[in-house]
Amino acid sequence: MAIGERRASAADATPANPNDAPLAGVRVLDLTRLLPGPMCTLYLADLGADVVKIEDTGAGDYARSLRGHAGAASSGMTSWYRAINRNKRSLALDLKAEAGRDALLALARAADVVVEGFRPGVVAALGIDHAALRASNPRLVCCSLSGYGQTGPRARAAGHDVNYLGYAGVLDATGTRGGAPALASLQIADLLGGAAAAAIGILGALFGAARTGVGRYVDVAMADAVLAHQPFALGTLDDDDRVPVRGDDLLTGGVPCYGVYETRDGRFMAVGALETKFWTSLCATLARDDLVSGQFARGEAGERVRAELAAIFRTRTRDEWTATFADADCCVTPVLSFDEALADPQFVARGMVRRDASGHRSFAPPFALTPSPALRAGDAPRQGEHSREVLREAGYDDATIDALVARGVVKADE
């Protein structure tokens, strides 16, 4: 099976057709840039939506060149920009110009969704807020994606992933006992709090608009969304009247049965034996049935069990332990590096890595549908690559488009 192809099931009896995709025929105007918004609209594009990036006529989406490297210099795009903007079209439009705003309003009349990621107040100042956009299209779904939301004392403040995690209590709880808060390599607030939460809200509003003919305004705050994804922390506070302590909670190393253990070669094994059956199987595999009673031990007893496990895991390499636990049903697995993860047989079998026509890698959608729509493999757009095409679809003739290009209201990459 080629990389990028999902394994077929019995329900996939007919060839995939792009027109059968769940969001086929849905037009999305995407005014976002960098990561959270484009990742949200990537989900929609992968579900079949026609996503049009509305970029300014200056730098555009500067993810194209942010942290550029040789590959970006030769193609004009970073690899990570390509990965999250595949199968989209680009219209470069000056929204500060009256003609640019008029063009966006014309596009909105035939669109289904508009997503923007400006700071609160910016779209109102430009005259393109949700009320203006929906004036001639009551079915339109408008989504604002921001760090702290459209209301509240911090609404207009700038922020990045680390700031949202800090305010939401996630950063304080992440890391080892006695150490400083740990930074994750995955943008938790941007992706879980921003992209995923926005996509869910948009899809719900789209479903409602299809039933009622009335769209909705979706206000997504990344800080809100990451706060709302901590049911364990909230449960601990409600049930035990305490805040989980970094490195000493159930999921951060507080008990022997859940954590990471270093191996002889300096690598690590991940132990997730939370259920009694898994912990019992782990102890049997290690021939240490005497440790069974220490599964959730804390304090000095917990330290003793952890020390015993740590000493055992340091006797073999990671790959040796992986082989040892291969047939044991106990949730003990290797900690892979990213390049190792890409080559992992499970992800390969699921077709999670794909290549576009230019040979660049990206991820397949994190959801497999049956019957599955055709997975398009189009490249990410150049700034303004589809300006003329999109404006023609909105009813603009070539002479009008030429005039807008000449005035700098529209940028067309031809």
Classify strands 141-146 and 113-116 as parallel, antiparallel or unpaired: parallel
From 30, 129, 161, 190, the catalytic residue:
190
Distances (CA, A) of 76 to 54, 71, 117, 356: 18, 8, 23, 16
Distances (CA, A) of 375 to 1, 63, 109, 221, 371: 15, 24, 28, 30, 12
Cβ contacts of residue 270 below 8 Å, gap of 6+? Answer: 260, 332, 333, 334, 335
From 56, 160, 172, 402, the catalytic residue:
160
Cβ contacts of residue 212 below 8 Å, gap of 6+? Answer: none
Classify strands 27-30 and 50-55 as parallel, antiparallel or unpaired: parallel
Which residue is listed with tokens 């922390």?
Answer: 233
Query: Is 379 known to be catalytic?
Result: no
Cβ contacts of residue 152 below 8 Å, gap of 6+? Answer: none
Angle between helix 398-407 and 98-109 (nearest 10): 140
Query: Is 160 known to be catalytic?
Result: yes
CB 190 within 8 A of CB 35: yes
Give catalytic residues, as residue numbers: 160, 190
